[in-house]
Structure 1
Amino acid sequence: MFVKRDSSGAICAVSREKIVGVDEAIAVDADELTQFLQASKPEVQQRLEQSDLQMARVMEDVVNLLIDKSVIRFTDLPVAAQQKLLSRREVRDQVHDNFVWSDDDHLSL
């Protein structure tokens, strides 16, 4: 990927190919490029993507509830779904273990 920068050094244009004026090479996975591309999306698309992330968590909670209520068994799910759920559970457990609360801490909901 190649970028052009404005006078403040911020990315203002991106190209897959090196072209006149857009000739600074940048890694495809560079945080700066990712942020620029995300900010360039229409607001409605950004809201939809955020909603998708929230719905994924809702669906995960629904699946867990159905399992807890014995409506379905974990093993009824396709192997790929089982692996994804287990992976997310591991990550959430790691985050939870690293998030230490004292008795004086409060979380506003």
Structure 2
Amino acid sequence: MFVRRDFSGAICAISKTESVDCFEAVGSDSAELLAFLREFQPEVEQSLAESDLQMARVMEDVVNVLIDKSVICFTDLPEAAQSKLMHRKEMRGHFQAISLLDDDDDIKF
């Protein structure tokens, strides 16, 4: 690994390849490098969690397309998957019903 250091000498960037900015080689088992990587672990975990949620929605959309095109039947899915998909559909329906009105909407009866 190659690192770039800030004015105080602390690692501020890393690269797998040597570059103009990251030219100092450090061992992958360097305590300083491992500490730097641990500092960003929550961001990486958050990013992965967000990606997982996005992928779950993609897979849900794929299942719906397959069902709509009669490639599979909803009942072909395991009961656990059916239950989860139905629950998400219900939750999305409730959320959409709540979100129909903006704060600026004025309803007169």
TM-score range, shorter chain: 0.5 to 0.7
Match of 2:57 in 1: 57
Residue 73 of structure 1: aligned partner: 73
Deviation at 1:42, TM superposition (A): 2.4
Mark the runs of 5 or more structure 1 residues left unpaired by the alignment: 1-39
The unaligned stretches of length 5 or more in structure 2 are 1-39
Q: Partners of 1:60 and 1:76 in 2: how far apart?
A: 15
Q: Provide the C-alpha distance between the structure 2 equivalents of 1:76 and 1:47, rounded to a whole number of angstroms.
A: 33
- TM normalised by structure 2 equals 0.54
> How far did residue 99 of structure 1 move?
1.2
How many pairs were matched up?
A: 65
CA-atom RMSD, angstroms? 2.1
**How far does residue 66 in structure 1 lie from its aligned partner after superposition?**
0.3
Q: Secondary structure at the match of 2:59?
A: helix
Identity across matched positions, percent:
62
- For residue 101 of structure 1, report the CA deviation from its aligned partner: 4.6
User: 1:34 maps to what in 2?
Assistant: none
**AA aligned opposite 1:65:** V
Superposition TM-score, scaled by structure 1 size? 0.54
Spell out structure 1 runs of 4+ moving beyond 6 A.
none
User: 1:86 — aligned with what?
Assistant: 86
